[in-house]
Chain A
Amino acid sequence: MATSASLSRTSDFFREVVAEAPVDPHLEACLQCGTCGGSCPSGPDMDHTPRALFAMIAAGMRDAVLRSNTPWYCVSCYYCMERCPQEIRITDVMYTLKRMAIKAGYSAQTTAPKAPGFAQTFVDHVENYGRSFELGLITRYYLSHRPLDALKMAPLGMGLLKRKRLDLSPRPIRQIDQLKAILDRAREIDAAHST
């Protein structure tokens, strides 16, 4: 288990990742067995398997890790976490790395350049309405991030509309101000912590 003493022996970047995770992911226990990399449905499409990424974190390869498409290609299936023989919270680490990449301004430079945009657009919508609004989300995301792909998505959108599976306008929650106040406070707390 990572204690403050054992953590002090790891790379700065390793400590940064551990500190960013919601609870200790126990990354120091990784055996490099490859169960995660073998289980991952996106494994073949990632630039580094999760296992390799953990070795890179231990080696302090900050730039290469935050630029990697690996976290963005994680589909959050939790297979790795379920099977990891060391009970490492791998999926949490993937989310943590995404946040770190965005925060450090790497999001446009990753090898999965479209992903951070999608996440950001989604978040903006939820912050404005309290609920996700698929039509708005998809149009705004495609028009601002992937104008060329927008056409590919059009038939799907039409299909959803035709089947009454898409709203034409957002349905905000009633107490959107309350939610905004909560999220603003959370942002302040976070800002105070990370400086």
Chain B
Amino acid sequence: MSAENPHRTRHDPHATPDAGHGERVGVYVCHCGHNIANTVAVEEVAEWAGEQPNVVVARDYKFMCSSLGQELIEQDIQQLGLNRVVVAACSPHMHEKTFRSACQRAGLNPYLFEMANIREMGSWATDDREAATQKAKAQVKGAVERAVRQQPLEPLYVDINPNTLVVGGGIAGLTAALELANAGYHVYLVERDSSIGGHMAKLDKTFPTLDCAACILTPKMVDVANHPNITLMTWSEVLSVHGYVGNFTVRVRKKARYIKEDLCTGCGTCVEKCPVRIIDQNFEVGLGYRKAVYRNFPQAVPKYPVIDTANCTFFQRGKCRACEIVCPTDAIDFNQKDEIVDLEVGNIILATGYEQFDARRVPQYGYGRLANVFTSMEFERMVNAAGPTAGRVVLRDGVTVPKRIAIIHCVGSRDKNYHEYCSRACCMAALKFAHLVHERVPEAEVFNFYIDIRASGKHYEEFYHRVLSEGTHFIRGRVAEVTDAARGPGEEGQLIIQVEDTLIGKQRRIPVDMVILMAGMESRKDARQVAALFGLGCDYDGWFTERHAKLDPVVTMTEGILVAGACQGPKAIPESVAQGSAAAARVAGMMGQRVMKREPVRACIDAASCSGCRICNTLCPYHAITFHEDRKVSEVIPALCQGCGACVAACPSAAISGAHFTRDQVLAQIEGILWDARQPEVLWLEPQ
């Protein structure tokens, strides 16, 4: 054998199956290249493992996950009659599937396989070789002890509901919805705002090609509205989510619009006649006004307006009804109530987007105090032909055209006082602004203040060069402050940018009349609540956590819940679209299988031991436990149970056990891990 097998083997051909059990365990310790072998003495661990009871063979190998590594396991199962397999390598999330399949190919029930994670939990966590090696042994020992007690299990098969819920109608959500709908699956698209379109609908031009945002976005919005496979629910919010992958029940609140959608023609007469005018903090980001009955923008989808009850004179003071009077089709209905709708879906794609960083949090830039300091989103609205100034670049007075404009990069980004990360899209947006100013106000001077220009994307660097050639001033230095406190005659009545021009090494004060703050992206204020609602994780900054940052960016740790777009991290339009499509493809791929294999890891209640206390009933997060009133015992419905183990731990009568995690398996594993723990010294208390 050694002739064909270059790997080292500790194989005792005379080993007999352990008396009493007959379990024959094979242990495989992976080097993972240098990842494990640099810190853990893998040969030593394998050699030691070979000496443990029930272990028939123990090997170490460079890459267990390679086909050669897998073949090794298969061969041993067939040639040495192994009936348990332990691999000490990376995390089960990475490769449990790989090795289970290998077992299965060799005819071994895959649930007789056990994995010890000596990489994430060992070699990556320390530089201490001795300690890491010792820990690896303990983990292997625990895995072996558990493996010998494992039972063969058969997977369960459940049907997949072919409908999908997409939450969020920005560009990522729209893309995902359309892809799935075009593939023939039904989609519910739930959007909190009164119209779909998201942030992109506010933009005028998109970098680097400068195509008009509305021109490329509105066709998609219309497609979504008209698609026979899409149920569009705007002005709606998800209240609760129950179930599991393939079978979710989602409760949605459709907020009252106070407009009868079947009658409204979208003529806008009510909007015109409504006497209430308030500042629009949402779509116009505070730069423009809207009525109490309003539509975000002319091409809003759906076309029906909504009534904002907090500002409507009728709702507040019982008088007015102007809209009702003028509406030609009697579509206004002040008595409409919120509706609760339950949706059955197999998968959920979250595309809930981002919020803009609040520039008021950086007082030294003067936003909110100095009138002519604008945020980037305000400026987007200003240059938009459909925005509050109809596309004119003007100061806050609405008339004066600025002559010198400062664009400040990294506001709230790349700053440990706010967000340490780079918001990615703002450098390019800042370049776009510089270009738009040159185009609209040719005589104006533009100063971009930056730390680094991040223009890594297709045709981005070329766009930067174009803006350079247009005569934009680029000053490398993060702006220290924006002030109206003039030091001398040259500065009177201006906004002064105080900055170190780091390429010269000198402090400069540059007078301008308009300042644009490139406020970064941050996660939505309620991101953590939304994450809790859908059962997924958030990182430190509130971005939704993907299963694998590089290889599985749209899938989360919760089966059936996917993410797309800027809710997962700062993104510009192209990446958001790519993720929307990717998420749709993942969902379509799963639905193509129609049935889904589910882990047979389930809880099971021993009716004889159940005292009928019902503690487990309310505890189960999946509502998988029913109570039989007649017999006064609880029972787990296997199709609903996710095997989370909450009930197992809680049952005061120890009546519940989890398949694949039985009490004796877990206790044996713990004892195995503690194999080298000192016996507790017994202290005798001497009587005085």
Task: Tell me if A136 counts as interface (CB < 8 A to partner B).
Answer: no
- Evaluate contact between B415 and A51: CB separation under 8 angstroms: no
A35 proximity list for chain B (CB < 8 A): 478-480, 500
Among the 9-residue stretches A80-88, A97-105, A116-124, A142-150, the one with 4 or more Cβ atoms under 8 Å from chain B is A80-88
Check B500 against A49 for contact (C-beta < 8 Å): yes
Contact of A138 with B by CB under 8 A = no
Task: Say if the beta carbon of B319 comes within 8 Å of chain A.
Answer: no
Known: A33-B502, A37-B502. A85 touches B507 (CB 8 A): no
Q: Are A38 and B507 in touch, CB under 8 angstroms?
A: yes
- Residue A52 interfacial (CB < 8 Å): yes
B478 touches A33 (CB 8 A): yes
Q: Which residues of B contact A36 (CB under 8 A)?
A: 500
B505 near A52 (CB under 8 angstroms)? yes
Bound Cα distance from A191 to B605, whole angstroms = 73
- Contacts known (A33-B477, A49-B505); A38 close to B499, Cβ less than 8 A: yes
Q: Is the CB of A44 within 8 A of B507?
A: yes
Residues facing B in A150-189 (CB within 8 A) are none
User: Is the beta-carbon distance between B416 and A49 smaller than 8 angstroms?
Assistant: no
**Per-residue 0/1 for A16-47: is the Cβ within 8 Å of any B Cβ (1 yes, 0 no)?**
00000000000000011111111110011000
Indicate if B476 sits at the interface (CB-CB under 8 A).
yes
Interface residues of B in 370-427 (CB under 8 A from A): 410, 414-417
Kindly state the separation between the CA atoms of A87 and B417 in the bound complex, as whole angstroms: 8
Closest Cβ of chain B: how far from A91's Cβ, in Å? 15
Q: Cβ of A15 < 8 Å from any Cβ of B?
A: no
A87–B416 CB distance below 8 A: yes
A48 an interface residue at 8 Å Cβ cutoff?
yes
Question: Contacts A43-B500, A49-B506, A51-B502 known; A38 to B477 CB distance under 8 Å?
Answer: yes
Least CB distance from A36 to B in Å reads: 8
Type the 1/0 row for A47-71, where 1 means its CB is closer than 8 Å to any CB of B: 0110110000000000000000000
B500 to A85, Cβ gap below 8 A? no
Tell me the B565-611 residues at the A interface (CB within 8 Å): none
Q: How many residues of B contact A (CB 8 A)?
A: 21
CB contacts (< 8 Å) of B206 on chain A: these are: none
- Contact residues in A for B417 (Cβ distance below 8 Å): 83, 85, 87
Q: Does B481 contact A (CB under 8 A)?
A: yes
Smallest CB separation, B417 vs chain A (Å): 7
**Chain B, residue nearest A87 (CB):** B416
* A52 CB contacts on chain B under 8 angstroms: 502, 505
Asked whether B161 is an interface residue with its Cβ less than 8 Å from the other chain, the reply is no
Q: Which of A32, A33, A38 contacts B498 (CB 8 A)?
A: A38
Q: In whole angstroms, what is the CA distance A33 to B411 when docked?
A: 13
* B505 contact set on A, CB distance < 8 A: 37, 48-49, 51-52
A79 to B480, CA, bound (A): 9
Choose from B410, B414, B416, B480 the contact partner of A38 (Cβ within 8 Å): B480
Q: Any chain A CB within 8 A of the CB of B451?
A: yes
Distance between B486 CB and nearest chain A CB, rounded to angstroms? 16
Shortest C-beta distance, A187 to chain B (Å), equals: 37
**CA A49 – CA B476 in complex, angstroms?**
14
Min CB distance A85 to B, Å, is 4
> Is there an interface contact between A39 and B480, defined as CB atoms closer than 8 Å?
yes
Contact B481–A39 (Cβ < 8 Å):
yes
Tell me if A37 and B507 are in contact (CB < 8 A). Answer: yes
Chain A residue total in the interface (Cβ 8 A): 21
Question: Closest approach, in angstroms, between the C-beta of B679 and any C-beta of chain A?
Answer: 38
- Asked whether, in the complex, the Cβ of A85 is within 8 Å of the Cβ of B416, the reply is yes
Residue pair B416, A34 in contact (C-beta under 8 Å): no
Q: List chain B residues, Cβ under 8 A from A34.
A: 476-478, 480, 499-502
| Alpha-carbon distance A33/B480, docked complex (angstroms) | 10
Q: Does B364 contact A (CB under 8 A)?
A: yes
User: Complex Cα distance A37/B364, Å?
Assistant: 15
The number of A-B residue pairs with CB atoms under 8 Å apart is 67
- Residues from chain B with Cβ under 8 Å of A31 in the complex: 414, 451
Within 8 Å by CB of B479, from A38, A49, A79, lies: A38
Q: Chain B 470-498 against A: per-residue CB contact (8 Å), 1 yes, 0 no?
A: 00000011111100000000000000001
Residues of A within 8 A of B414 (CB): 31, 85
In angstroms, Cα B632 to Cα A85, docked, is 63
Per the bound structure, the CA–CA distance linking A95 and B469 in Å amounts to 44
Q: What residue of chain B has the Cβ atom nearest to residue A44's Cβ? A: B507
Is there contact, CB below 8 Å, between A83 and B480? yes
Task: Judge whether B500 and A38 touch: CB under 8 Å.
Answer: yes
Give Cα A36–Cα B507 distance, bound, in whole angstroms. Answer: 10
CA distance A31 to B476 in the complex (A): 12
A85's contact among B415, B476, B499, B501, by CB below 8 Å, is which?
B415
**A31, B480: Cα distance in complex, Å:** 14
Q: A38 to B506, Cβ gap below 8 A?
A: no
Separation of A31 and B416 alpha carbons in the complex (Å): 12
Inter-chain contact B507/A83, CB cutoff 8 Å: no
| A87 CB to nearest chain B CB (Å) | 5
Chain A residues whose CB sits within 8 angstroms of the CB of B477 once the complex forms: 33-34, 37-38
CA distance A40 to B480 in the complex (A): 9
Are A83 and B364 CB-contacts (below 8 A) given A33-B477, A38-B500? yes
Nearest A-chain residue to B478, judged by Cβ: A33
Q: Which residue of A lies closest to B416 (CB)?
A: A87
Q: What's the Cα separation between A31 and B498 when bound, in Å?
A: 18
Q: Within 8 Å CB of B478, what residues of A? A: 33-35, 38, 85
Q: Output the least CB separation between A58 and chain B (Å).
A: 14
B500 surroundings in chain A (CB, below 8 A): 34-38, 43, 49, 51
B609 to chain A, nearest CB (A): 53
A8 to B: closest C-beta gap in Å: 15
B116-129: CB near A (< 8 Å → 1, else 0) gives 00000000000000
Q: How far is the CA of A32 from the CA of B502 in the complex (A)?
A: 8
Taking a contact as CB atoms under 8 Å apart, the answer to whether A43 and B507 are in contact is yes
> Considering the chains assembled together, what is the distance between the CA atoms of A64 and B480 in angstroms?
26
- Bound-state Cα–Cα, A60 to B167, Å: 55
Closest B residue by C-beta to A38: B480
Nearest B-chain residue to A48, judged by Cβ = B505
Q: How far is the CB of B248 from chain A (nearest CB, A)?
A: 42
A51 CA / B504 CA spacing, docked (Å): 12
B475 to A, closest residue via Cβ = A34
Q: Which residue of A lies closest to B450 (CB)?
A: A33
A133 to chain B: closest CB distance in Å? 36
**Hey, which chain B residues are within 8 Å of A32, CB to CB?**
502
Interface residues of B in 328-372 (CB under 8 A from A): 364
B residues within 8 A CB of A40? 507
Pair B507/A33 contact, Cβ less than 8 Å:
no
Q: Which 4 A-B pairs have CB atoms at the shortest separation, nearest pair first?
A: A38-B480, A37-B500, A34-B500, A85-B415
Q: Which B residues are within 8 Å of any A CB, using their own CB?
A: 364, 410, 414-417, 451, 476-481, 498-502, 505-507
A-B contact pairs, 6 of them (CB 8 A): A32-B502, A33-B477, A38-B477, A38-B478, A38-B481, A83-B417
Q: A33-B477, A37-B502, A87-B416 are in contact. List 15 more A-B contacts (CB 8 A).
A: A31-B451, A33-B451, A33-B478, A36-B500, A37-B505, A38-B481, A38-B499, A38-B500, A38-B507, A39-B498, A44-B506, A44-B507, A48-B505, A49-B500, A52-B502
Taking Cβ atoms with an 8 Å cutoff, the residues of A that contact B are 31-40, 43-44, 48-49, 51-52, 79, 83, 85-87
